[in-house]
Structure 1
Amino acid sequence: MLALILLAVVSSVFGARPGFHGTGNLEWRDCSNSGDSWLKVNKFDISPAPITIPGSMRVTLDSNLSHQLKDAVTMDVVIEKELLGVFTKVVCVKDVGTCHYDDPCHFLNTFKGVGGCPKQLADNGLPCTCPFNPSQIRLPPTQFDVTKVSSEWSFLATGTYHIKISMTEKSSKKVRGCIESFLKISYNKLG
């Protein structure tokens, strides 16, 4: 037990958790089985550290999608917040939190009704609604601004988070894409 505690402390001070890439701003890993994966994440970063909201952040992504994604997958999102040294799941409320999506395309279609994809994605030729065709997904360091946080979510806006997103093919039940990360967020009440 003492060895696990020491490993956790040493990892957080000197680098990323075992198996994770430490960018200095967040820790992440592609958690899919490479032989079954349709989505391969090569690079992922968010800065600054911690992310301050409201505020600006820069996101970088380099990945490859090898199959078309339509209604063939389900998506599971796990969001956990560290409380007293233990990661605790954030419940799914209004499609935010630890949620299961039988049809992620339906969920993403909300972008069609609110003026389309965010400008930062559109400017880089990246779609945000289905279908997603096989392609290389590259987002160079790009600024996103979070202008406000809903009062109902502000209590969650500060802390260390563990986030895992996985896509499972409906017919085979195989995980076809997975990314997992740890990051810190700081809520600026004056923002």
Structure 2
Amino acid sequence: VSKYLWGIRGPALGKPPFGGFAWENCGDKRDPVVLQSLSVAPDPISIPGSLRVSAAVSSSKAMASPLKAVLVVEKALGDLWIQLPCIDQLGSCTYNDVCTILDNLIPPGTTCPEPLLTYGIPCHCPFKAGSYSLPASDFILPDMELPAWMTNGNYRVRATVSNGGEELACVKLAFSLQSQ
């Protein structure tokens, strides 16, 4: 099994995911939503701790409910990658309507939390076409009770978002987690 993110080596990936954050778009070149940039620090990501994230996304199409998200999460065990199951909405899960999930987290009519509010990034569907940019911003990762199988280690995630069977975006991530 390749030690590189799904066997693809490119400028966005840099070094192997062992101890190195990496990302890339994986969808069709016609996907309307494209991740332009993504930076995450520290590396490895520490839980609990502070996470500094910057990102830019462009969308040539509005995204409306129902937005389906499919995550495939794998963890490195030696040279093998093991797909993690979906347990309690963590792991390799399918979320049939991300818009409803967002509405449950942030009730409609409520202002979006910082720093989304400051940078004009929406937190409810529909998401208008356009460019969205999040300058380096700090987020606090609380001391979460993660299952043992989702703690220290190297991970890779493939996230696909679609609407009515049409793929809108696909992103692959590789990262390391370190819990205190």
TM-score bracket, normalised by the shorter chain, equals: 0.7 to 0.9
State the match for 2:147 in structure 1.
153
What is the CA-CA distance between 1:92 and the residue it aligns to?
1.3
Supply the distance in 2 between the matched residues of 1:180 and 1:119 (Cα, whole angstroms): 26
Whether the aligned pair in 2 keeps the contact of 1:154 and 1:187 (CA below 8 Å) is: no
Q: Which runs of 5+ in 2 are unaligned?
A: none
What's the secondary structure of 1:121's corresponding residue? Answer: coil
Q: For 1:48-127, list aligned pairs within 5 A.
A: 48-113=42-107, 117-127=112-122
Q: Which of 30, 34, 53 is the aligned partner of 2:29?
A: 34
Q: Does residue 184 of the first structure (1) align with residue 158 of the second (2)?
A: no
What is the DSSP-based 3-state SS (H/G/I as helix, E as strand, rest coil) of the residue aligned with 1:107? helix
Q: Which has the higher contact order (CA 8 A, sep 6+)?
A: 2
Q: Rg bigger for which structure?
A: 1
Match of 1:21 among 9, 12, 23: 12
Deviations 1:116-150 (A, max 9, x none): 64322222221222111112110111111112112
TM-score by length of 2: 0.84
SS in 2 for 1:69: coil
Decide which of 35, 43, 63 is 2:37's aligned counterpart.
Answer: 43
Deviations 1:141-179 (A, max 9, x none): 1111112112x5355121101011111231xx3322011
Distance in 2 (alpha carbons) for counterparts of 1:123 and 1:111:
19
Unaligned stretches of 5+ residues in structure 1: none
Q: How far apart are the structure 1 equivalents of 2:111 and 2:179? A: 27
State, as a whole percentage, how many aligned pairs show the same letter.
22
Instruction: Check conservation: 1:111, 1:117, Cα contact below 8 A.
Output: no
The farther-off stretch of 111-120 and 88-97 is 111-120
**RMSD value, Cα:** 2.5
Alpha-carbon distance in 2 for matches of 1:26, 1:18: 13
Distance in structure 2 (CA, Å) of the matches to 1:139 and 1:49: 19
Name which of structure 1's ranges 118-127 and 38-47 shifts more when overlaid on structure 2. Answer: 118-127
The answer to whether the 8 Å contact 2:66/2:96 transfers is: no
**Number of equivalent positions:** 174
CA distance in 2: counterparts of 1:94 and 1:70, whole angstroms:
25
Query: Structure 1 length normalisation: TM-score?
Result: 0.80
Residue 174 of structure 1 aligns to which amino acid in structure 2? E
Deviations 1:43-102 (A, max 9, x none): 111111111110011111011012111125421111111123222122212322111122
The SS at the match of 2:134 is strand
